[in-house]
Amino acid sequence: MMPRPTPPPSGHPPADEPARDVGVRTAETLRLQGGVASPARDEVAVELPLEVRLNGEPFSVIMRTPGADVDLALGFLFSEGVLRGAPDVDRVDSDREAGVVNVLVRRGRADAVSQALSERRQVAMNSSCGLCGRRSLASLSLDAPALPVTWTVDAGTVSGLPLALHGAQPVFARTGGLHAAGLFDPEGRLEAGTEDVGRHNAVDKLVGRALADGRLPLGQSLLCVSGRSSFEIVQKAWLAGIPLVAAVSAPSSLAIDLAQQAGITLLGFVRDGRCNVYAHAGRVRPAAGA
């Protein structure tokens, strides 16, 4: 396990320390209804930049919902191949007010840090971008074995994941403006849930927390995401060793292709008691009598 992040000299709390309403702000709006206009106040999801630094050097700027910033930075660096686990991290310095997380990597990973800094274009990642900053198509490929089938899950359990995830979305309930990701065990019990303006950010927050806790790979976990599943979501699951990805909406064609290669069970349209299985259906047991 990793120690909690080091507080900055200013005395601000660590980026992952809970803060009241950190993901919500109030906006003035003009409400139009029934031909009548009236001023109102509305709660909206916060989107702000986070600068991720590697050993003090700027690495990426991520547009995100504040909260769990250290988890986000660690998960992002894991998905970029810079970190392989908690032992690679010497220290994490975070300043929530400045929107900066600086990850200091142990000396044995100096070559990986140098390569990551040299290969990545310095661009801001918007909340819908999971692959911004990559220089080449070759950088998207993974040299990893397909995930083995070691357990199965009941179809009824899978169909209940979105409802359980919805219960872990307090900011979405107030704003309607965030994506969510949740880790579940094969019995459908929620292990951890996150929210963010970006689907991939929410997944990185989950993976980053697991990395800090020394729990990777997540071979006994299911991942459920709101919205659609895309290439980068499946790629992050593969890196983290998650063998099943369920989404409320549709998968992309690349997500299906990658899931087939990775040995990941990929489900879409998981809602209203039904779902479609697009890859490796053997992990899902049909409901009794089906």
Which positions are annotated as active-site residues? 129
Q: Are strands 48-54 and 274-279 parallel, antiparallel or unpaired?
A: unpaired
Cα–Cα distance, 206 to 216 (Å, whole number) = 11
Structure token pair of residue 174 = 């107030």
Residue type at 235 in one-letter notation: Q
Q: Are 175 and 44 in contact (CB under 8 A)?
A: yes
First to last CA, the chain: 43
- Angle at alpha carbon of residue 131, lines to 44 and 72, rounded to 5°: 55
106-135: burial string, b at 16+ Cβ within 10 Å, e else: eeebeebbeebeeebeeeebebebbebbee
Provide the 8-state DSSP code for 229: B
